[in-house]
C-alpha cells in the first residue's frame, strides 16, 4: 500500500479498547464516558481486519488502547495471529501497555509470539506516579515489568516529558533503564482531547531541552536504529542502552510516516493529528467476503494526508477533539 506521497504503509496500530484502568493527566479526564461495548469490533472481527491488512502488505501490528490488556479475551486475538508470525507474513506483533496487567499476561504474550513491548511509565516516584495516573498502582507496574523480563520480552519504556513533573528525573530514568536492560523513549505531550482542569501549555516540555539536559551527563551517540515507529535514537555510551525521541511538536516525522491507526470501533485514521477517517466496520459487516473491506482500505490509503498540524498554546483548542485513548497514540 502506497499513499499519495509515495510512502509505503506497512504498519498498523489497532486500539482494541478505549477503556483504561488509569486516568493519566495528559491523556484523559478523570470522569470519562467510554463507548458502549456493543459498538466495539469483536475479537473475531479484529482478527479478520488484521489478516486483511497483512494480505495487503502490513508487516507490523501494534495493539494499543486505552489499555489493551483490560479487553476481555484479548489473548484470543493475539493467538489468532500467531500463525501469521510463524509463516513470516507478519514480521512483528507487539503492544503498548501501562504495565498494570503484565504480571498476568507477560508469559502468554511471549508464547503468542511477541518479542518486545512498550510500557508507558513517566516517573519512578510512586507519589508522582499516583498523581500522574490518578488510578495507577506503582508496585503493580514494577512487578509487571519484572514479569516481562522473566518471560524474555524486550521492554522499551515510553516516558512523556512533563514540565515541572518529571523533568527532575531525566537522569534517574536513563540510569534505571540502563540497569534494567530497558530502552527508553521520551515523547512530547500532544494536544489531543479535553483533559479537564489540566493545561497542556504547563505540561509541555520540548525534547530539544530534554536532550540538551541529558547531554550534560551522558554521552549520546547517534545511531542508525529503527523500530518501524517515529522515534529517532541515540545510544548512551555509559549504559549501552538506547534513548529514542518522539517529537511531534518540535520536529515532526511526517515525511517518513508509514502508519495508519484503527480504533476499536473500526474507524481507520490516516493521521494521528487529523480527523479524516474511513469506516471499516460497515464494509466488514456487510459481507462474508473481504473484498469490500479491502476496497475501503485502499480508498483510505489513497487520501492519507501529508502530515499533522499540532499546536500547543493557551488560545488554541486541542488540535483534534478525540482523546489519545481512542487511537492509542
Q: Are 264 and 41 in contact (CB under 8 A)?
A: yes
259 is in an annotated binding site: yes
Q: What proportion of the chain, given as a percentage, has pLDDT over 90?
A: 71
Count, residues in the chain = 329
pLDDT at 316 over 70: no
Provide the 8-state DSSP code for 288: S
Average pLDDT over residues 108-112: 98
Whether the predicted pLDDT of 327 surpasses 60: no
Residue 24 annotated as part of some ligand binding site: yes
pLDDT for 126 beyond 50:
yes
Are 2 and 57 in contact, with CB atoms under 8 Å apart?
A: no
Tell whether 115 is in a known binding site: no
Of residues 2 and 55, more confidently modeled: 55
Q: What is the mean pLDDT of residues 13-37?
A: 89
pLDDT higher than 70, residue 308: no
Write out the H or E segment, with its range, that includes residue 129.
helix 126-133
Q: Is the pLDDT of residue 127 over 90?
A: yes
pTM value is 0.87
175, 153, 180, 41: which is closest to 97 by C-alpha?
153
Helix H or strand E encompassing 286: helix 281-286
On whether 177 is known to bind a ligand per the annotation, the reply is no
For residue 106, what pLDDT is reported? 98
Mean pLDDT of all residues in 77-83: 98
Residue of 278, 272, 297, 228 lying closest to 49 (CA atoms): 297
- Across the range 115-141, mean pLDDT stands at 96
Query: What is the pLDDT, as a whole number, of residue 325?
Result: 52
If one counts every other C-beta atom within 10 angstroms of the C-beta of residue 30, the result is: 13
**Residue 116 marked ligand-binding:** no
264 assigned binding-site residue? no
Question: Lowest-confidence range among 38-47, 95-104, 278-287, 297-306?
Answer: 297-306
Q: What is the mean pLDDT of residues 262-275?
A: 88
Q: DSSP assignment of 219-252, as one string? A: -EEE-----SSS-EEEEETTT--EEEEE-TTTS-
The answer to whether 190 is a known ligand-binding residue is: yes
* Rounded-to-integer distance, Cα 95 and Cα 170, Å: 24
Q: Is residue 206 over pLDDT 80?
A: yes
Kindly list the structural domains of the chain, giving each domain's residue range(s) and its CATH number in brackets, ordered by start. 11-327 (3.20.20.70)
Query: How far is C-alpha 197 from the chain's CA centre?
Result: 24
Amino acid at each position: 500500500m502506497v499513499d499519495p506521497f509515495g510512502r509505503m504503509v506497512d504498519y498498523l496500530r489497532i486500539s482494541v479498547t478505549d477503556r483504561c484502568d488509569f486516568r493519566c493527566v495528559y491523556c484523559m479526564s478523570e470522569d470519562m464516558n467510554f463507548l458502549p461495548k456493543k459498538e466495539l469490533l469483536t475479537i473475531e472481527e479484529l482478527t479478520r481486519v488484521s489478516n486483511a491488512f497483512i494480505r495487503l502488505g502490513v508487516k507490523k501490528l501494534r495493539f494499543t488502547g486505552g489499555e489493551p490488556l483490560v479487553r476481555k479475551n484479548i489473548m484470543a486475538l493475539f493467538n489468532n495471529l500467531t500463525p501469521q508470525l510463524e509463516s513470516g507474513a507478519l514480521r512483528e506483533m507487539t503492544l503498548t501497555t501501562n504495565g498494570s496487567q503484565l504480571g498476568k499476561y507477560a508469559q502468554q504474550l511471549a508464547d503468542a509470539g511477541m518479542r518486545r513491548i512498550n510500557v508507558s511509565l513517566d516517573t519512578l516516584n510512586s507519589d508522582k506516579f499516583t498523581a500522574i495516573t490518578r488510578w495507577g498502582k506503582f508496585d503493580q507496574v514494577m512487578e509487571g515489568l519484572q514479569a516481562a523480563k522473566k518471560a524474555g520480552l524486550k521492554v522499551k519504556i515510553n516516558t512523556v516529558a512533563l514540565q515541572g513533573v518529571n523533568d527532575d528525573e531525566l537522569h534517574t530514568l536513563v540510569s534505571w533503564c540502563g540497569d534494567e536492560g530497558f530502552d527508553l523513549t521520551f515523547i512530547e505531550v500532544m494536544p489531543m482531547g479535553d483533559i479537564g482542569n489540566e493545561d497542556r501549555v504547563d505540561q509541555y516540555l520540548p525534547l530539544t531541552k530534554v536532550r540538551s539536559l541529558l547531554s550534560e551527563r551522558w554521552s549520546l551517540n547517534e545511531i542508525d536504529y529503527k523500530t518501524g515507529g517515529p522515534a529517532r535514537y541515540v545510544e548512551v555510551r555509559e549504559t549501552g542502552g538506547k534513548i529514542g525521541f518522539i517529537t511531534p511538536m518540535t520536529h515532526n516525522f511526517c515525511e517518513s510516516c508509514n502508519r495508519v491507526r484503527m480504533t476499536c470501533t473500526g474507524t481507520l485514521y490516516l493521521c494521528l493529528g487529523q480527523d479524516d477517517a474511513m469506516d471499516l466496520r460497515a464494509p466488514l459487516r456487510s459481507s462474508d467476503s473481504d473484498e469490500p473491506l479491502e476496497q475501503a482500505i485502499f480508498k483510505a490509503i489513497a487520501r492519507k494526508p501529508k502530515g499533522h498540524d499540532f499546536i500547543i498554546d493557551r488560545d488554541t483548542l486541542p488540535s483534534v477533539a478525540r482523546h489519545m485513548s481512542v487511537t492509542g497514540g
